[in-house]
Amino acid sequence: MAAISAAQVKQLREKTGSGMMDCKQALTQCDGDIEKAIDFLRKKGLATAQKRAGRAMSQGIIQSYIHMGGKLGVLVEVNCETDFVAKNDEFISFTKNIAMHIAASNPLGVRPEDIAGDIVEREKDIYRDQAREMGKPENVIEKIIEGKLNKFYKDNCLMNQAYVRDPDLTVADLLNEMIAKIGENITIKRFVRFQIGES
């Protein structure tokens, strides 16, 4: 097993923002391969996030973002467990990035279950009609609808969207990385997006 240098640990730390011991452990597990170590840390972050998912979150912040000379605005509520984290600069920066992402990507809800049932049903009807127009058999149509609905959720649910500042990550990935880094459960609870001229 190759010895891990301080320079490698520093490089991984700069790329991921993870703690020094976590970076050293990841590099050791991955024989010094930086890319594999990044994946290792992301998976660990996801496991950490799942472990913390049941903990109560009574603190947080309502973050605002105004764009285009006051023509577009977002309010987003992000919750955490402690007041200490709510005042943490990294947490505040994260909430600002989420508000900016919402302004740019215009999601319909945080998660699939947040999107109104009538909108989902309307989409299903459109997909069903499209499949019938193409002459698809009825037993295939439901699978087509399911596939198109998954794509719809990926495009329209905040957690499923590719993060605007790094499309290799989803917003859920970004959140899980933040949970791993901060060491507390964090959730994006709700948001509202205003745009001049929209009803």
CA atoms within 13 A on the CB side of 40: 19
Residues of the chain with CATH 1.10.8.10: 6-52
Residues 139-148 pLDDT 10s: 888 888 889 9
Where is pLDDT greater, at 173 or 11?
173
- Decide: helix, strand or coil at residue 188: strand
Where is pLDDT greater, at 46 or 3?
3
Residues of the chain with CATH 1.10.286: 116-156
Predicted model pTM: 0.68
- Record: fold of 6-52: Helicase, Ruva Protein; domain 3 (1.10.8)
Where is pLDDT greater, at 48 or 41?
41
pLDDT value of position 103: 95
- Record: fold of 116-156: GTP Cyclohydrolase I; Chain A, domain 1 (1.10.286)
- Decide: helix, strand or coil at residue 165: coil
Residues of the chain with CATH 3.30.479.20: 59-110+157-195
Report the CATH number of the 59-110+157-195 domain: 3.30.479.20
Residues 4-45 pLDDT 10s: 888 888 887 777 666 677 788 888 888 888 888 878 877 776
d(CA 169, CA 146): 23
- Contact between 75 and 191 under an 8 Å Cβ cutoff? The reply is yes
Let me know the angle formed at the C-alpha of 41 by 36 and 47, rounded to the nearest 5 degrees. 130
The whole-number average pLDDT for the span 183-192 is: 91
Report whether pLDDT(133) > 60: yes
